[in-house]
Structure 1
Amino acid sequence: MAVIVVMGVSGSGKTTVGGLLAAQLGWAYAEADSFHPRTNIDKMAAGTPLDDTDRTPWLRAIATWIGAHAAGGGVVSSSALAHRYRDILRTGGPVWFLHLHGTPELIATRMAARPGHFMPTSLLDSQFAALEPLSGAEAGLVAEVTESAERIVDAAVRAYESWSRGIEA
């Protein structure tokens, strides 16, 4: 068994898809924003991108959650933008990634439409600049956010189950 990390830039739908995916699988769900210390949230809210010094403790906390849920399955959302960040997440245990992908224009429109979130649209360019696609060595699926959340979840469940049968054999 593994934990599914729903990844992508801010505004890609990680929370919505992650919650639906966890419900469909009957697994625990965690929203990665809840692992951020207040200083990170304040920094982003002020329009300042996080650096690796800010991100590392946050990623390690998520990896700990992954380790606690790997045996029974779990879903966690995390931007997980760079390979080195995903490497930290994998220290917690086996991980399968669901990368929610969309154009900068579509994601900016989505971000502008969500009131009260701490992440400003002004940081979107820095997220796309940091985003590194999944490599061939990283298990997962890339899903276009132009699809409905339900269709993304259905495709993810099928792809994850196919993958997990391969690692259990």
Structure 2
Amino acid sequence: MTGTRPPGRVRPLWHRVGDRWEREPPHDLLYGAIVAGFVMAVSSVHAPTGDRVVVATSLVAVGYWLAHCYVDAVSGRFHDSGHSLWERTLAALRLNLGVLLGAVPGIVVYLVGHALGLAVEQAALVAVWCTVVLLGVVGFFAAYRAGARGGRLVSETALAAAFGGVVIAVKYLLH
């Protein structure tokens, strides 16, 4: 039988994550992480207090999630005459939670850094770098799953992480 494993053999994490993301690509997670990274980079510049950064990032993440759900529900209505806009909206709110989840790692890293005594801008920079790592890890999984190995795997991972570099560039441009 193809596709069966010997009993007791555990598949590596990257295979299990790749299987999951092949069924449900992590595009919402990536959108949430990128949006949160940009908001954190911008809102942390000369912020009077650290809580303003968290509030701003959280509110924009929720706003972006709602906008994403709205666009999904309304634009999907053009080809889905069987479900009302209300039904599509409720489904979109539930199915697009990845946008909110994508913002969580950056916010948590920021909160931990700030709680450990980092200044607002330093904690935000650490959180944004974690976003770069997250983007790189997802890029690695995507490239690996697609069969990239060696130099191609490294270059595709670096390219995926490089988008986070744009967020860091914005932070430095605003400083």
Is TM > 0.5 for Structure 1 vs Structure 2? no
Which has the higher Rg, Structure 1 or Structure 2? 2
Greater fraction helix: 2
